[in-house]
Amino acid sequence: MKDEDLTPRQLWRKHRMRQVMLFVTIPGVLLGTASITAAYSAGWMSPPPPKPACSPVVVPAPARASFTVNVMNATGRNGVAGQVASGLAKRKFTVGGISNAPESWYVTQSAVVHHGPDGLDQALLTASQIPGAKLFADSRKGTSVDVVVGLAYRDMVAIPPRLKPIPSEVKVNVYNTTFKTGLAKTVADEVAGRGFKVKEVTNDPLRTMQLGTAVIRYGEQGDLAAALLKGHVPGAQLVKDGRLDATLDLVIGNAWTALTPASEVPPLPPRPKQPTPTVARPCK
């Protein structure tokens, strides 16, 4: 009902009710505020405790060669994906595919590392190699990660000094180029007996015919491993090829006789103890 429809007596009662409500409400609010302030001042009431600071969880990093890293170029500059892939291979990562990212992907960071629920640690380890890299979680299965190189990419972190490998860290394929059946198996067993990890044992897939004792084929990352194996193979010739990993090919030639006697193999240098690599899982 509007005020103009009320009688003078009804208007007086409505006005009086408003005065009463103001008289009761305003002092109550002031009194309540003062009471709370006094309680805080007297220490009767304490503010809620601050939430505990979240600390990242530090865990051992996965082995670098235990998962696959695919590299995609989103910079618009030719050859960047191959450059990053080569850098990851030098750092002992297992590189899978190398390609351009879809044209619709606009990446302003140095890199974005895509990973699934099971690949967080792998993504953290990979991202640590590229300053400014960020993570992106998707629904993929397994531990493989994709590195999408972005516009801000300049370089990777420095590679720490390499340690000379020991036989158990060197993977060797043993290939036969002679007419002596079973020679590859015999040599492979002897090489494995020296502590090397033997992979393929068969005739040379390149179908070469070696007239010397042996050829050791290796890539850029296998130079130290090749030098180690050469100490066990008298007269071996070192041949560098374009492989990205550190695997070696021991190609047996027609002048093969035997491995260098173990007593004549140069001793391994002492190795300093290395800290266990770790990654820091971010707070949730």
CA distance 108 to 49: 40
Per the structure, the complete domain to which residue 21 belongs is given by 3-42
Residue 15 has what pLDDT? 54
Residue 256 CB partners (closer than 8 Å, separation 6+):
178, 183, 187, 213, 214
Per the domain annotation, does 203 fall within a domain?
yes
Residue 24 has what pLDDT? 44
Listed residues 111, 146, 161: the one ending a domain:
161
Per the domain annotation, does 271 fall within a domain?
no
Whether residue 174 sits in one domain with residue 255: yes
Listed residues 161, 193, 219: the one ending a domain:
161
Whether residue 17 sits in one domain with residue 71: no
CA distance 121 to 281: 7
CA distance 231 to 163: 17
For 141-152, how does the pLDDT look when each residue is reduced to its tens digit (9 = 90+)?
A: 999 999 999 999
Per the domain annotation, does 75 fall within a domain?
yes
Whether residue 113 sits in one domain with residue 79: yes
Per the domain annotation, does 90 fall within a domain?
yes
Whether residue 157 sits in one domain with residue 62: yes
For 193-246, how does the pLDDT look when each residue is reduced to its tens digit (9 = 90+)?
A: 999 999 999 999 999 999 999 999 999 889 999 999 999 999 999 999 999 789
What is the separation, in whole angstroms, between the first and last Cα of the chain?
A: 57
Assess contact for 138 and 115: CB atoms under 8 A: yes
| Number of domains composing the chain | 3
Low-confidence stretches of the chain (pLDDT < 70) are 1-48
Whether residue 212 sits in one domain with residue 186: yes
Residue 197 has what pLDDT? 98
Whether residue 153 sits in one domain with residue 65: yes
Residue 55 has what pLDDT? 87
Whether residue 62 sits in one domain with residue 29: no
Per the domain annotation, does 282 fall within a domain?
no
Whether residue 153 sits in one domain with residue 98: yes
Cβ-based neighbour number of residue 105 at 10 Å: 13
